[in-house]
Amino acid sequence: MISNKKLSNRKLFLIVGVIAMLFAGVIYAWSILKVPFKKELAFSDSDLALCFTLTMCFFCIGAFIGSKLLKKIGLKSTLIAASLLSGLGFFLTGLINPLHIAMLYVFYALFAGLGIGIAYNVIISVVNSWFPDKKGFSSGVLLMGFGASTLVLGNVIDILFSMGNIGYQKTYMIFGVLIAFVLTAAALIIKTPSADVEFPEVKVVKAKSGEDFILKDYTTKEMLKRFTFWRAFILLVFLTAVGNSVISFAKDLVVSVGAADSLATTLVGVLAVCNGLGRILTGMIFDNFGRKKAMIFSNLLTIVAAAVTLLAVIINSLPVCIIGLCLTGLSYGSCPTVCSAFVSAFYGQKYFPTNFSIVNFNLIFASFIASFSSTLMTLSGGFTVPFIMLLSLSVVSLFLNFSIKKP
């Protein structure tokens, strides 16, 4: 009876986790968040692209730190620390006037990036531990909240930016307080499962996906010694790079094919919605059809997304570009779910927080590819060359994908 009562709380923890991830995910609304820095402070595109890259770097470092703090000081203390760090980062970004580019790197990229990275890893690790029978679904729903933030909160931010009595500085300060409050509330509500909780029976991997290997918990050191891990890591770098690149210049991309500024902002939100849907869709595919089909689905979706967007740029078509953005959102959303589901399916739950944080370092390398995409765009004077490169990387990933069979 006690175990069943505790198990019923997992739905509450999932809901709270989604809300927390929604506010944490605002850091991904960079296409909108960077606008005032370009317009009012005249920061260059390269300066702002570097900020996004640094944010992803510190986000990954934060996720790793979060996995260690979770073990040492527990869920509540770790998540409260993350809330204060990320909230302070946003607050100081709005408070300091005039804001130097170096300050933006420290407050937004370092403080907010680290804090949200810590929160991201802790929330996913703890909430997912309540759903060993629905790993893909749980990961997908949580990551949907993270990805949908650009639409849900990004449009609110855009409106506040344009309001004369608020502007970008007060908007950053307001969201700094909101992020700190929501993450602190999550820290007080979400609990880790105790040893007496009885979970539903987990399906055997072989029956679910047709892959023949023995389930076991791998330490991080053991995982890093596996050639399979590195093949998966490289393919995730390439797949994530497509979405990272598009996110970094999404608004400029749709404007280049004829979209009005207001429509461009809305389309950035549409990209975020598809990002969220991709996370749930991939999670469902993982739960019902297994790891292999989920990863191949993600890969093929990325290839099609890059190809369609490249076509849109070549023929200068806004409708085709919108389709490309939607497909890119779906494909990019599938990547975090694949990361989470892959690690738990191949390397177990016992060392999941640290192993998951290591896999998430693919975002750092993907961000550097995204920065290189921006450089190619500047040098070539358009988006054609960057998308040829991104399409090529996604095709290479497919060959790596088919080679992954056992941990």
Residue 205 has pLDDT above 70, yes or no: no
Q: How far apart are CA 31 and CA 51, in angstroms?
A: 12
Give the amino acid at 72.
K
Please write the tens of the pLDDT for every residue from 285-334: 887 887 888 889 999 999 999 999 999 999 999 999 999 999 998 998 88
145 closest CA partner among 233, 237, 276: 276
Q: How far apart are CA 243 and CA 228, in angstroms?
A: 23
* CATH topology assigned to domain 8-193+214-402: Growth Hormone; Chain: A; (1.20.1250)
Q: How far apart are CA 355 and CA 373, in angstroms?
A: 29
Identify the burial level of 204 via C-beta atoms within 10 angstroms of its C-beta, where 0-12 means exposed, 13-18 middle and 19 or more buried.
Answer: exposed
Residues found in the chain: 407
Q: Which two structure tokens, joined as six digits, stand for 286?
A: 């993982």
Contacts 24+ apart (CB under 8 A), 347-350: 347/217, 347/218, 347/222, 347/223, 347/229, 347/407, 348/215, 348/216, 348/217, 348/218, 349/129, 349/132, 349/217, 350/217
Looking at per-residue pLDDT, the higher value among 66 and 205 belongs to: 66
Instruction: Spell out the domain ranges in the chain.
Output: 8-193+214-402
What is the reported pLDDT for 5? 61
Whole-prediction pTM value? Answer: 0.77
Please write the tens of the pLDDT for every residue from 173-195: 999 999 999 999 999 999 988 87
Q: Which two structure tokens, joined as six digits, stand for 270?
A: 């549409």
Q: How far is CA 146 from CA 19, 142, 195, 204, in A?
A: 9, 7, 29, 29
What is the reported pLDDT for 199? 73
Mean pLDDT, the chain, rounded, equals 86
Residue 206 has pLDDT above 70, yes or no: no
Please write the tens of the pLDDT for every residue from 209-223: 456 666 788 999 999
Please write the tens of the pLDDT for every residue from 79-88: 999 999 999 9
Average the pLDDT over 159-170 and give the result.
87
